[in-house]
Structure 1
Amino acid sequence: MDDLQFGKRNKRGDWTPNEPVALAPLFRLPFSLRAFFAWLPHYFLPWNLLFAASAVAYWAWIIPPVETMRTLGWGWPLYLYAVNALATFLFYGAFELNLYVLKRQDRRFKYNGRFPAEQKNKAFWFERQNLDNILRTFLSGVTIWTACEVLVLWAFANGYAPWLAFADHPVWLACLALAVPVIHEFHFFCIHRLIHTPFLYRWVHSVHHNSVNPSPWSSLSMHPVEHLLYFGTVFYHLILPSNPVLALYQLHYASFGAIPGHVGFDKVEVGEDHAIDSHAYAHYLHHKYFEVNYGDALIPLDKWFGTWHDGSPEGEARMNDRYRRRKARLAAAAAEKARRTGTAANP
């Protein structure tokens, strides 16, 4: 495919799409039913349907019997860890192999023209981004994902969480299934703003932001505290009347769903004439500029809080203006502090 039909490339080889990132019409005013139904297929295909199907497959073939999950031990949690690790290796590895090892589409649709493997950086373990990201994914990410999974399944099995059957509550559970991405978006925005506060950014979130040029294995490369906050999205299903399959869907949306936002390409080519949209540009801009797009485009939280960047020149101007205003406020506060200190020292 010719990526220059969809965007442009600068002298450094960085590619940007022609169209700015569009907000989902869910909360757009005035609400347009036509726009909503035109957007709806993109809500399901391909990613959300894939993650929902993986949750159903887990429940059908992987998750142990309820009787087993009523008792905490080493056996079934270690089994789930092994399955989650294998699924992560296969799913993440497929993107890594196709796009970064074999480079089957070269740099077509790649936001950053350089590949992470070309750059050594002391911020990473062994100065290698990929090795650092892989180790953090399996040592901490899959471990905490599995721990959250085990805790929630144990709670459902023992009646500590309100377990509704699909046959008895089809409408509510269908609505809750549709809301899984919305729950994730709301949760992610809140914890993301939290870990961008100075203390937590320095000691926790900076680990993830070391990957300025993200690749598939960057998706779950986080500090353990961030992993716990991130996978905590599943705990809503301990409060809401829900079903274990939907709790699994929530976890899979977080675990496998981290890939599209970090794949580094706007489109993943499937054959010579077809490609799947990654919808990664909004989050790529967050990795590039740090203080924009704390969420994605499903709920316009960034727009409401003034941190939205859609990739357009207007978005760039808004971001720079916000930076200037913040710099001026900090300078004024420093000047006022210096004035007061000087006054106190020289009455």
Structure 2
Amino acid sequence: MQPLSDALASFWQIWSPMLILDVGRYLVAACGLALILKLFWNAGLSRRKIQARWASRSDVRREIVTSLRTGVIFSLNGAAIVYGAMNGIFTIYTDFDKAGVGYLVLSVVAIIVAHDAYFYWTHRLMHLPRLYPYFHRTHHRSVAPTPFAAYAFDIPEAFLMAAFTPLWLLFVPMHGLGLFLFMAFMIVRNVMGHAGVELMPRALADSRWFGWINATTHHDLHHATFHHNYGLYFTWWDRMMGTEHPRYREQLRGRPADGAAVAADSAARSAAVAS
């Protein structure tokens, strides 16, 4: 029994920091943004609410429970990455002698761009009728999402999302700080996308230089209409593939959407969620 006990102790020593990190970053980001929304609601954020609909308390409870479950799955994936690095499968370094600050910056930019592409295509894949009920239905139960919906995934979706980082590390060495910055960026942008309140400048709708950055309205429309806006950080894949919502930029400018069109979108979304 001693070898088993030693193995479990070794596993816990590696897994427990990952559990604290993955669950902790979700709680800090989601609770932090929820607090900001509450504190500044009467100072102007109320005018930036995207949908008229509100999430119910049961919606929020479901989002928190499923997101915490995803955090546990992500932490197991993190432990597997640590084991892989210890055994030479992945290259994760902690000093700058191996590669300088320039490589750190470049690798962080590259992993964010690659993750956006991975998310777009796996997201579209999960919307296929045969896969949707098993992979993505839980996330779309949040019609009017809150920051707590950031990780509200079905178990297969959580594993699919977790798979990106080890796949990336098979080919690209990363500094530990670079991985931390990527994970921090990912959860911050994720909770912002589910805020239910437009947190980005409305000028993004018409910006020549920054219009490729997703605003909160971009992902909120995906929850409200189901069939558009599959990107996570950037709009370019949706633009190239013709999947950007036709009224995204109009709504981002703060103009009310056409009621009949919204009703049709909502009906299509409800039918898809129920299927």
Q: 2:3 aligns to what?
A: none
Q: 1:108 aligns to what?
A: 47
Q: Distance in 1 between matches of 2:55 and 2:214?
A: 19
Contact 1:267 1:278 in 2 (8 A): no
Q: 1:288 aligns to what?
A: 224
Give the CA RMSD over aligned residues.
3.2
Q: Distance in 2 between matches of 1:311 and 1:102?
A: 25
1:258 to 190, 204, 211: 190
Q: Distance in 2 between matches of 1:200 and 1:255?
A: 25
Structure (1/2) with the larger helix percentage: 2
Three-state SS of the structure 2 residue aligned to 1:203 is helix
- Unpaired runs of 5+ residues, structure 1, are 1-70, 119-127, 270-276, 328-347
Percent same amino acid among aligned pairs? 21
2:82 to 127, 141, 153: 153
- CA offset at residue 179 of structure 1? 1.7
> What amino acid does structure 1 have at the position aligned with 2:248?
G
Q: 2:4 aligns to what?
A: none
1:215-226 map, 5 Å = 215-226=146-157
- Unpaired runs of 5+ residues, structure 2, are 1-8, 202-212, 269-275
1:1-347 map, 5 Å = 72-99=10-37, 103-105=41-43, 107-117=46-56, 128-138=58-68, 140-163=69-92, 165-170=95-100, 171-235=102-166, 236-267=168-199, 279-296=215-232, 298=234, 300-309=236-245, 311-312=248-249
Q: Distance in 2 between matches of 1:75 and 1:129?
A: 35
Change (3 A) 1:91 1:278: farther
Larger radius of gyration between Structure 1 and Structure 2: 1
Change (3 A) 1:95 1:161: same
Change (3 A) 1:268 1:312: closer
Contact 1:136 1:221 in 2 (8 A): yes
Contact 2:119 2:232 in 1 (8 A): no
> What amino acid does structure 1 have at the position aligned with 2:75?
T
- CA offset at residue 103 of structure 1? 4.4
Q: Distance in 2 between matches of 1:79 and 1:312?
A: 42
